[in-house]
Amino acid sequence: MAAAAVAQPVVPHGPVSRLRWGLADTLVIARRSLLRVPRQPELLLGFTIQPVMFVLLFRYVFGGAIQTPGVSYVDFLLPGILVQSIAFGGTVTGIGITEDLQKGLTDRFRSLPMARSAVLAGRTVADIVTNWFQLVVMLLVGYLVGFRFSTSVGEVIAGLALVTLVGFAFSWLSAFIAMGVKTVEAAQQASFIWLFPLTFVSSAFVPPETMPEPLKTFATDINPFTLWVDSLRHLFVGTPIDDQLWLGLIWALGIVVVFAPLAVWRYKRVATR
Amino acid sequence: MMSGQGETTILTEGLRKSYGDVRALDGVDLEVSHGTVFGLLGPNGAGKTTCVRILTTLLAPDGGRAAVAGLDVVRDATVLRTRIGLAGQYAAVDENLTGFENLEMIGRLYHLGAAGSRQRARELLDRFELSDAGDRVAKTYSGGMRRRLDLAGALVARPPVLFLDEPTTGLDPRSRLGMWAMINELVGEGTTVLLTTQYLEEADYLADQIAVIDHGRVIAEGTSDELKDRFGGEVVEVVLGETADRTGALDALAPMADGPSEPECEGRTVRVPVRARAGVVVDAVRRLDEAAIELEDVNLRRPTLDDVFLSLTGHVAEEPSSEEQAEAEAS
């Protein structure tokens, strides 16, 4: 055998080359995760159809009965549904990670001299792209049912950046959850069970002032979804806010800062069986 | 740096690992020489996979130590990962990538470079007869093809030590023979192989040295011939006619017996342990014929894992894994 044709693998030395290798590994994994999107379209479609149905349902069925001061219901609704669907979209990350665990791919990756964090980072980065796909579809549907931006281009871009960050945060959260469960279905359930009530008991679909106590207090003072939805609504249609934007940013960054290391830590220890 | 023939490539001392109350490994000592095939033989749940997971740095042992290619599996894990390949019973391929993309990705993760990774992927597809399927998504592959792709993945970085966790479990006989041939070829090139298996036949065919493992402990070790001599060689099995004299048959066949256990009669079947040699079937027929005892069938049964286990532990090697039980219950 001519062993000289391929270089023997080495490991990086020093923090700089380790970081460079980690980034390279992250890109390889991100590319791999994106390649599967067109080959497994049902997964992404599933996560896009549901929010589209929600848009139609709330715009045309419930919307007429909901009073929103100072703004039309469709303008009120769309930022809320965008935040909700981006949070649910994070589940895609968890499902992918559970699949890798089940199929033994995680063992393969862990037996390679690659950066430990790259397997998760690559996937969460790739899922930013799939989240954008979802965003575009939602905005198109929103436009068709009458949603219009009423702010500057800069504010709209800032809004899109905020939703992206929230999506990234939920990808890490979902990655962390996924490594604690055994099946893909469980990974899905583990997120839905608390995301569903959390997104509804917020300012996403109705003004929280109309809710009874203690839901009202929870929605206005505690639930970070209200912060994100209020901020996005402000950046897209110009509704007034106080400090929701900064608090919302802190929440989203906080989730990344807490759950990214936790997820990587869990990944290092997790065993397929 | 490079080890030569006769040197120890894999060494474990008192390796222990528990999952809660279950002792998966309870003090395992192994020594595998460079360029040889070592077979870890045992039933489901014996601790084989745990052992492989520790040796491939996937799992940290609770106690004892293990070194592969002179590198400690815990302390030198990162460097060790560049020297080992792992392929297993759960063919670790990304179903949504093509065969080529799977191998190329692994090359990139070994940092073989873009061109190097592509070249290596093509070489391996060629070698494992997957070139024609190389551009197809692995979802469309047969079980045997996935297993070959998985093995190819383990070989991307030309590792000097290869771990194969039940490499042929679930394969059809033809794919199994193909896998055996590939493993033999690799060993011919100087690769040290540790493989786990539930099949005595497989260990017999591939392994230079075998350790039998049960409940996390090595209960016997030696070459295949040594084990069979010690714990159950060939058995001549005679099915007597309905009215045949069973004691007479036992008496007639007893002089042939040569093995660890006594001839026995169970129903109409008489079992006589013999050393592997030609002519025993004819001999048995002749002896019964001389004693005028009618027989229906006679055959030479090769020892199975069950036989080895029975003589080693007194219990049969059947301990279905939790997955198998779950599967059985589901169906």
Cβ contact A21–B111 (<8 Å): yes
pLDDT of residue B54: 93
Domain count, chain A: 1
pLDDT tens per residue across span A175-216: 999 888 878 888 888 888 888 889 998 988 888 888 898 998
Contact B108, A122 (CB under 8 A): no
pLDDT of residue B114: 92
B192 strand-pairing partners = B161
pLDDT of residue A2: 41
List chain A residues with CB under 8 Å of B81.
11, 111-113
pLDDT over 50 at B9, yes or no: yes
B19-45: average pLDDT: 90
pLDDT band at B257 (very low <50, low <70, confident <90, very high): confident
pLDDT under 70 in chain A at which residues?
A: 1-8, 271-273
Residue A63 domain-assigned? Answer: yes
Long-range contacts, A269-273 (Cβ 8 Å, 24+) = A270/A101, A270/A106, A270/A179, A271/B53, A271/B58, A271/B59, A272/A101, A272/A102, A272/A104, A272/A106, A272/A107, A272/B90, A273/B49
**Range 133-162 of B in CB contact (< 8 A) with A:** 137, 139, 153, 157-158
CB distance from B48 to chain A under 8 Å? no
- The distance from CA B25 to its chain's CA centroid, rounded to whole angstroms, is 18
Return the residue of A nearest to B83 by Cα.
Answer: A9
- pTM given for the model: 0.80
How many percent of chain B have pLDDT more than 90?
A: 42
Its domain, for residue A93, covers 38-269
Cβ contact A108–B112 (<8 Å): no
Per-residue burial over A49-60, b if 16 or more Cβ lie within 10 Å, else e, is eebbebbeebbe
How many percent of chain B have pLDDT more than 70?
A: 88
pLDDT of residue B316: 61
Residue A3 domain-assigned? Answer: no
Cβ contact B81–A28 (<8 Å): no
> Tokens 């041939």 correspond to what residue?
B181
B265-280: average pLDDT: 80
What is the rounded distance in angstroms from the CA atom of residue A58 to the CA atom of residue A81?
10
Helix (H) or strand (E) holding A176: helix A153-178
**Range 213-272 of A in CB contact (< 8 A) with B:** 271-272
Coil vs helix vs strand at B189: coil
ipTM of the shown complex: 0.84
Residue A4 domain-assigned? Answer: no
pLDDT over 80 at B324, yes or no: no
Residue B106: closest CA among B152, B55, B166: B152
pLDDT over 50 at B59, yes or no: yes
- Shortest distance between the Cα of A187 and any Cα of chain B, in A, equals 19
Residue A243 domain-assigned? Answer: yes
pLDDT of residue B69: 93
Return the residue of A nearest to B119 by Cα.
Answer: A6
What is the rounded distance in angstroms from the CA atom of residue A199 to the CA atom of residue A190?
15
Domains of chain B: 8-223 (3.40.50.300), 233-302 (3.30.70.100)
List chain A residues with CB under 8 Å of B84.
111
CB distance from A7 to chain B under 8 Å? yes
pLDDT over 60 at B1, yes or no: no
Return the residue of A nearest to B53 by Cα.
Answer: A107
Residue in B96, B116, B189 closest to A39 by CB = B96
CB distance from B282 to chain A under 8 Å? no
List chain A residues with CB under 8 Å of B105.
28, 31-32
What is the rounded distance in angstroms from the CA atom of residue B309 to the CA atom of residue A60?
71
Contact B308, B200 (CB under 8 A): yes
What is the rounded distance in angstroms from the CA atom of residue A217 to the CA atom of residue A76?
20
Residue A20 domain-assigned? Answer: no
Cβ contact B158–A32 (<8 Å): no
pLDDT over 90 at B152, yes or no: yes
pLDDT of residue B331: 34
List chain B residues with CB under 8 Å of A183.
none
pLDDT of residue A152: 92
Residue in A1, A24, A104 closest to B90 by CB = A104
Residue A215 domain-assigned? Answer: yes
**Range 108-147 of A in CB contact (< 8 A) with B:** 108-114
Cβ contact B109–A114 (<8 Å): yes
A–B interface: beta-carbon pairs under 8 A: 98
Cβ contact B94–A105 (<8 Å): yes
Cβ contact A111–B84 (<8 Å): yes
DSSP annotation string for A45-80:
HHHHHHHHHHHHIIIIIIGGG---TTS-HHHHHHHH
- Shortest distance between the Cα of A9 and any Cα of chain B, in A, equals 6
B198-206: average pLDDT: 85
Cβ contact B119–A28 (<8 Å): no
CB distance from B86 to chain A under 8 Å? yes
* Four-point Cα dihedral B141, B147, B153, B155, nearest 10: -140
pLDDT over 60 at B323, yes or no: no
pLDDT of residue B304: 66
Cβ contact A104–B120 (<8 Å): no
**Range 159-178 of B in CB contact (< 8 A) with A:** none
Contact B271, B256 (CB under 8 A): no
